[in-house]
């Protein structure tokens, strides 16, 4: 490591709040599916900013769209209309099949809006303020207080109790556990279509359809968190579209802006007409012209580059190659995931393997202590998968 890069790391340790245990590298630029540090070292990126940079780095059309918007206007506030937000909402409605859109700055903020939507929906039905939301154990929805309240991992919540209250927890893919938590106060059931931080667990079709039927029967909102698993990562624009059902409310972020901080929560017309109204919710930056110009170009490029077809083809190949790794090494227990959201489950902590991979020019990330998560740009090729597997194999040999 050069003295210059080390000096930046040392300065960061003195200046930044220590809420992250960062890897000892300062990334300086990206190109395609590769990152480069300040010393010019090249890294194959299988993290993509935690499932954010779906189109890879230095997409000229994407960059040009942002530059053009910067030269026009970046921000006006939501007291006024702006054309990029209107276009982005139109495009987002088309790819999601939802009816109403609220733009946010992040995924966690989208979850906050979804929670408020559910509470207001319940309140307008009966005037009560004691409605409950059922969330899932091992889930992760964000770090803000509302998002923490529905995150089913006490490790994240304990130091910040009390949470917002009236949250019950069930188990993903265990419909009986959901039924055990349903009361006459239940206004929503919230879960990730594919649990990410919790270990790369996809919801089953049976579970999804049973929850949908329950929500229809009892006028409960089915709310799906698609922040990480959405925007094409599983081979459909949103993971729930694989199951032949539709949520009442959904959240999206991460790859929605491919690097520009932006998220959204969306809902059906029925929910939109019976929940939040003027004065109930707001945001200063949400839906600003720059962020929405990014959304418009991202959705356009997904279609132009046929990203979903690439996810299907390369995702299947990634599954095959990871299954080979699982069969080859006794320390690997299994692989699970969908498309280009995959996890290898080990019988031990994976931190040393990830650090070794970084040394060898491969960027990986964990999902819990014993799972390596693979969330590369959605434009990777089979050759990139082969390069990753070659490095990963050597890392496992070295550390397992």
Question: Which residue, 243, 385, 378, 244, is CA-closest to 299?
Answer: 378
Residue 148 CA to residue 372 CA, distance in Å, equals 23
Burial category of 271 from C-beta neighbours within 10 Å (exposed 0-12, middle 13-18, buried 19 and up): buried
Report yes or no: 167 and 223 within 8 Å, Cβ to Cβ: no
Residue 238 CA to residue 227 CA, distance in Å, equals 9
Residue 261 CA to residue 363 CA, distance in Å, equals 22
| pLDDT tens sequence across 138-172 | 999 999 999 999 999 998 999 999 999 999 999 99
What radius of gyration do the chain's Cα atoms show? Answer: 21
pLDDT of residue 260: 96
Report yes or no: 239 and 125 within 8 Å, Cβ to Cβ: no
Query: DSSP label at 204?
Result: P
E strand or H helix at 218: helix 205-218
Report yes or no: 224 and 248 within 8 Å, Cβ to Cβ: no
pLDDT of residue 164: 94
Question: Which residue, 210, 194, 185, 213, is CA-closest to 136?
Answer: 194
pLDDT of residue 374: 98
pLDDT of residue 1: 85
Question: Which residue, 398, 323, 326, 319, is CA-closest to 358?
Answer: 398
Give me the residues of the chain with pLDDT under 50, please.
Answer: none
Report yes or no: 164 and 152 within 8 Å, Cβ to Cβ: no
Tokens at residue 395, please? 């890392």
Other CB atoms within a 10 A radius of the CB of residue 340 amount to 29
Q: HEC string of 107-133?
A: HHHHHHHHHHHHHHHHHHHHCCCCCEE
Residue 186 CA to residue 111 CA, distance in Å, equals 17
Q: Measure the CA angle with vertex 26, ends 23 and 28; round to 5°.
A: 145
Tokens at residue 160, please? 């910040």
pLDDT of residue 399: 80
Report yes or no: 276 and 249 within 8 Å, Cβ to Cβ: no
Angle between helices 382-399 and 351-359 (to 10 degrees): 120
Burial category of 153 from C-beta neighbours within 10 Å (exposed 0-12, middle 13-18, buried 19 and up): middle
Beta bridge partners of residue 320, listed in sequence order? none
Task: Measure Cα distances from 108 to 97, 98, 168 in Å.
Answer: 22, 20, 19
Residue 349 CA to residue 366 CA, distance in Å, equals 9
Residue 25 CA to residue 6 CA, distance in Å, equals 8
pLDDT of residue 197: 87
Report yes or no: 124 and 274 within 8 Å, Cβ to Cβ: yes
Q: CA torsion, points 244, 248, 254, 255, in degrees to nearest 10?
A: 40
Residue 337 CA to residue 41 CA, distance in Å, equals 30
pLDDT of residue 204: 97
| pLDDT tens sequence across 229-267 | 999 999 999 999 999 999 999 999 999 999 999 999 999
Residue 192 CA to residue 141 CA, distance in Å, equals 8
Other CB atoms within a 10 A radius of the CB of residue 149 amount to 22
Please name each of the domains of the chain with its CATH number.
3-55+306-399 (3.90.1150.10), 61-304 (3.40.640.10)
């Amino acid at each position: 490591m050069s003295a210059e890069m080390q000096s930046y790391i040392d300065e960061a340790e003195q200046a930044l709040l220590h809420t992250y245990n960062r890897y000892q590298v300062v990334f300086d630029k990206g190109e395609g599916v590769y990152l480069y540090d300040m010393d010019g070292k090249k890294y194959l990126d299988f993290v993509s900013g935690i499932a954010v940079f779906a189109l890879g780095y230095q997409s000229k059309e994407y960059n040009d769209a942002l530059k053009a918007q910067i030269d026009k206007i970046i921000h006006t506030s939501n007291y006024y209309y702006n054309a990029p937000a209107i276009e982005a909402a139109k495009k987002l409605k088309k790819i999601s099949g939802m009816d109403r859109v609220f733009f946010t700055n992040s995924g966690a903020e989208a979850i906050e809006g979804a929670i408020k939507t559910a509470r207001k929906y319940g309140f307008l039905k009966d005037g009560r303020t004691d409605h409950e939301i059922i969330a899932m154990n091992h889930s992760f929805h964000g770090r803000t207080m509302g998002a923490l309240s529905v995150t089913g991992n006490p490790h994240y919540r304990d130091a910040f109790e009390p949470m917002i209250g009236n949250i019950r927890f069930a188990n993903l893919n265990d419909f009986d556990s959901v039924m055990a938590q349903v009361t006459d106060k239940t206004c929503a059931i919230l879960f990730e279509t594919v649990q990410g931080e919790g270990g790369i667990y996809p919801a089953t079709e049976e579970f999804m359809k049973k929850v949908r039927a329950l929500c229809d029967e009892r006028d409960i909102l089915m709310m799906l968190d698609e922040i990480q698993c959405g925007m094409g990562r599983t081979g459909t624009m949103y993971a729930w579209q694989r199951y032949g059902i539709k949520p009442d409310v959904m959240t999206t972020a991460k790859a929605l802006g491919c690097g520009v901080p932006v998220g959204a929560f969306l809902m059906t017309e029925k929910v939109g007409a019976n929940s939040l109204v003027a004065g109930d919710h707001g945001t200063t930056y949400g839906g600003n012209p720059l962020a929405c110009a990014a959304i418009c170009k991202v959705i356009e490029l997904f279609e132009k580059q046929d990203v979903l077809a690439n996810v299907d083809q390369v995702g299947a190949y990634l599954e095959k190659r990871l299954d080979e790794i699982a069969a080859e090494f006794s320390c690997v227990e299994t692989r699970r995931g969908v498309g280009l959201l995959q996890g290898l489950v080990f019988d031990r902590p994976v931190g040393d393997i990830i650090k070794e991979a970084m040394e060898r020019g491969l960027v990986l990330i964990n999902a819990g202590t014993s799972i390596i998560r693979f969330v590369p740009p959605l434009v990777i090729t089979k050759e990139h998968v082969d390069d990753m597997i070659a490095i990963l194999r050597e890392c496992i040999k070295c550390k397992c």
